[in-house]
Structure formats: C-alpha cells, structure tokens
Amino acid sequence: MDSHPRYLILRPENGGIMDLFTNALFGADFTRFLGHSQITSFVDHRWVIFVSIFIRKFITFIAKPMDWTGRFLEFFLNLLSLNGYFFGLLLNLTRGKLVIPLRGSQTFMSTIGHLDRRVDLKFITQGDFQPQLGNRALMDLCIMSSKLAYENPKFIQNIVTTRWNMHFVHFYDCWNDFQKQMSTQVFILCDKAKDANLILISFRGTEPFDADDWCTDFDYSWYEFPNVGKIHIGFLEALGLGNRDQPSTFYSILQREDTELLDSTNGVNLAANYSSQSNSESLLSGIDSDEDQSFTYNKTPQKQTAYDVVRSKLRSLLEEHKDAKFIVTGHSLGGALAILFPTVLVVHKEMEIMERLLGVYTFGQPRIGNRQLGRFMEPHLDRPVPKYFRVVYCNDIVPRLPYDDKTFLYKHFGECLYYNSHYVEKDVKEAPNRNFFGMRFILSQYLNAVWELIRGLTMGYAEGAEYKEGWFRMLVRIIGLALPGFSAHCTTDYVNSIRLGKKSSPHMSSI
C-alpha cells in the first residue's frame, strides 16, 4: 500500500493578508499557505484557494467579537423569554422579580432554539414507534433531533423524556485534537428504555457564532485514503480521527480495524489520543505491525473523541436492544459528521454494526469528500434500498460547500431531497446552483429572499400558529435580504419542509 498518500492542507495562518493578495495578483501558487501538501498543481483554480484562505482569515480575525456577540445574544434572548418578553421584562424589573437565565440549565435555550422555538414532534404519538425509512414521522424525529442537538445536555434530556416520551441515553462533549478543545457534541436516544426499536445518534452542527465551526465549513483541505477516496480534513478532526499538524495520523487511525473499546458498561470509551511527540516516520512505521505503536491511550474521559465514544456506546446499545436499528442525523456540520461516522465504520470493517443501520438523514450538509468516496460507500448505503438522504432547502449555502471543481473534486453522494421555497420536493441528483456563486442565480437568490420574508410574515395565518415566526427569526429574514444563503440555512425551513412538503415520493410517504 502507498506509504505516501495524497493530501492538501491549507494553512491561512502561514502568511498575512498582503501575502495572500500578492499571491493572487501575481499568479503565485500559494505555496506559503500550504502547511503540508503532496499536490503541486493549482494553476487553474488559484482563486478557490484564495477565497477559502481569505474567508477563514476573516472569520479568525472576528472570532472573539463573534463569541462575545453570541454569548450576549443568547443571554439577552433567554432573559426576554424567561420574563415574558419586553413588557414582562419591564414588569418584573419594577416588581423585583427578574428571572436571570442560567446557562446550562434545562430552561436555557440556544440561539438556534430561539430562531425556531418548536420542540414537540409533529407525527409521533405515544405507543410503540415503528421506524420506517421515508415516512414523515421518522424524518420529523430526525430534523427535530438535529435541531435539539444545539442545546445543552439538561435541556435535551428534559425534551426527550418529558415531551417526546423517549429514553435519553447520553450527551457527549468530545475532543478535537487539532483545535485543542471540546468542539464536537453529540447525543444518543432510544425510542424506549427497554426493547427499543430505534437508536438515534444526533451530531451538533455549525453554531452561528462559533468561528471554528465556520472555518471548518470553509476549509478545503483533504486527505486521500487509498481505495477509499478524499475526505475533508476538518470533519475527520471533528470526529477525532487525526490532526493536520501530523498528516500521517489520519492514515494511522483510519487503518485500524479493531480499535480498543473500553468500559462499555458506562458508555465511556477512553479515546485513543496519539502522542504529540510522535513524528511522521514513527507513525508510519507501525502501520503494518500487529500492535499499533503510534498511539498512547489516555485513560481520562475528558479527552474522549466522538467516533470512538459513539461507536463504543452504539455497540453496547445494539447488544442490549436485540431488535433495534440505528439512525444517524445532523444539521449543517452535524450532517457531515452523521454521514462520515458510518463511512469510517465501513473503513474499519464494522459490518455487524452496519447491518443494523436503518438510515442516515442529513439537513443542510456540506460535502465531505470526492466521487470515489461516494462509490466506496454505495454498496453499503444504496443496496438493497437507499439508506442515505440529504435534505437541501432552496438557496442554503452550506450544502454548496466545499467547492465542487476540478481542483478539489468535492462531490455529494446519496439521495438528494431538494425543497424549493414553496416547500415542494423535487427529484434531483444535485441541488441547483451547486457552487452557489454562479452569476445566473444571483437575481433569483435575492428575489427568493424577498419572497421568504413575505412568507414568514404570513406563515402563521396560512399554516397555523405553530408556523408563526417570531421577531428574531424575522430579523434574520431581513438580514437574509443581503445574505440569502445564510438565512436559508436556519433549521426553521428544514422543519417546515418536512412538515409541509407538498410532493409525495418513494422517500416521503404519508403517515
């Protein structure tokens, strides 16, 4: 097997903004910004690299203000909601009964939650839930779980147990070794505590004010695994499958077929943390040995990685619930991790687990790899029936990232369920305007943003009270007049697409 896999790693921090523009204007090859690369030809598409590096540098520059803004906005929105909004807040202030939001409590809601305050399921009633691919009940459970993943553990547990009458298993805050922080969140539920029919895994997506999340979405770095394909490096790191500072760690981790699973009784896998002292040669030297010499196992759950801990818990749940199948879901970045998780299960030859896969539903998911990766996964996701569905709403910018061109070759795979701004599902191989910035789509994007604003103002009257959009969502609609692709990425329109979808198809049967 090739001991020198191909990869491309863009490092915006390796130069200043003037270096970036100098490279672009004078036809340089951006070598300064390539932390590691086995690729030498970028002549045809230098501007794609320029855009990626420029956007990530800008996001990094405003990272602190973004974080402060997000924290203040979340506190302010919760302060308003807990005190009965503007007039209630004034009244409570005068009475001395002001309710102060407590971050991390079961009443503290995220910014995503305030954009769309719906938490109840639409179609599932009490009693045995029989999960069936394609019906609205399962799709509604997936989009609501994807939305719920943005909340804190106590909030999630409260909704799952008291509003959905399901069994909350666990919430995991997982380690990203490149970012050196707990930046990946995922929770697991079962439809019931005993003899469950369904196990659901929901990954948290891109948080609106998290600069690291947005930098990951706009990152074009990839690593190519022999016989598998190119995979987005940022998503691999989010699952805990390597570190771009040592590119060979991706190869080492992905070649493990039987990673140690620890202490499944309490659902905590003490993740494999590779030593930062190992150099590339020592990592590669252990690939073909019987024992993996390239990793030091850290016996502390504080640095558990998402892939290992979820796989460990999933295995124990499948053993406990003999008839259960599992489904993986997520919105935005969470959608990318949702499809990457079973992909790595296949790479690790976890076929007993994969046989219990019911399906994967993602919403507003970015691309995770190239066409070869899609071909590699087809036998496991398309046969005998399709199991992987990508839901894309209208002009959402995130499913159009990373860029699909001759240099980067990012391609979607799986079944695409595309909804236009009237919530009509269309059968398409790929969403229109696949790279978003096509000139012939600009006018329609802005006209559509105007229509979405008008529609938002009238939804409560046309479809019922549960579809009424609050002042905060309408504010984002107004911002969407300037940035239509970002406004369209909100979970509101994905929930509405599933609940109001006007076209019946084999992938969306009625209840």
Residue 130: which H helix or E strand, with range? Answer: none
Give the model's confidence band at 295: pLDDT under 50 very low, under 70 low, under 90 confident, else very high.
very low
| Mean pLDDT within 425-442 | 77
Catalytic residue among 116, 191, 219, 396: 396
Task: Say how many Å lie between the first and final Cα of the chain, rounded.
Answer: 50
Three-class SS state of 199: strand
Question: Is 489 in the active site?
Answer: yes
Beta strands in 341-496 (DSSP E): 357-363, 369-370, 388-393, 410-411, 415-419, 425-428
pLDDT at 228 over 60: yes
Residues 6+ apart with CB under 8 A from 19: 32, 33
Q: State the alpha helices, DSSP H only, in 62-108.
A: 63-82, 85-95
Report pLDDT for 185. 96
Q: For residue 67, what are the β-bridge partners?
A: none
Report pLDDT for 278. 35
Count: domains in the chain: 1
- CA-based nearest residue to 377, from 339, 335, 422: 339
Q: What is the mean pLDDT of the chain?
A: 83
Distance CA(263)–CA(261), nearest Å, equals 7
Residues 6+ apart with CB under 8 A from 164: 120, 121, 124, 189
User: Model's pTM, two decimal places?
Assistant: 0.87
* Domain-located, residue 496: no
CA 356 vs CA 13, 319, 353: distances in Å: 43, 11, 6
pLDDT higher at 403 or 245: 245
pLDDT at 272 over 60: no
* Domain-located, residue 88: no
pLDDT at 98 over 80: yes
The answer to whether the beta carbons of residues 331 and 147 sit under 8 Å apart is yes
Question: Is 195 in the active site?
Answer: no
Both tokens assigned to 265 = 């009784």
Q: For residue 56, what are the β-bridge partners?
A: none
Question: Is 332 in the active site?
Answer: yes
CATH number of the domain residue 345 falls in: 3.40.50
* Domain-located, residue 28: no
Both tokens assigned to 18 = 């003037």
Report pLDDT for 53. 85
* Domain-located, residue 317: yes
Catalytic residue among 81, 332, 421, 487: 332
Report pLDDT for 130. 75
Distance CA(71)–CA(99), nearest Å, equals 17
* Domain-located, residue 166: yes
Distance CA(77)–CA(376), nearest Å, equals 45
Residue type, 123: F
Which residue range is the domain that position 235 belongs to?
A: 102-417
* Domain-located, residue 467: no
Report pLDDT for 382. 83
- CA-based nearest residue to 237, from 2, 416, 4, 7: 7
- CB count within 10 Å of CB 40 equals 9
Give the model's confidence band at 135: pLDDT under 50 very low, under 70 low, under 90 confident, else very high.
confident
pLDDT at 109 over 90: yes
* Domain-located, residue 74: no
Q: How many residues in the chain? A: 511
Report pLDDT for 400. 87
Instruction: For CA atoms 361, 365, 369, 371, give the dihedral sign.
Output: positive
Distance CA(440)–CA(370), nearest Å, equals 26
Report pLDDT for 302. 66
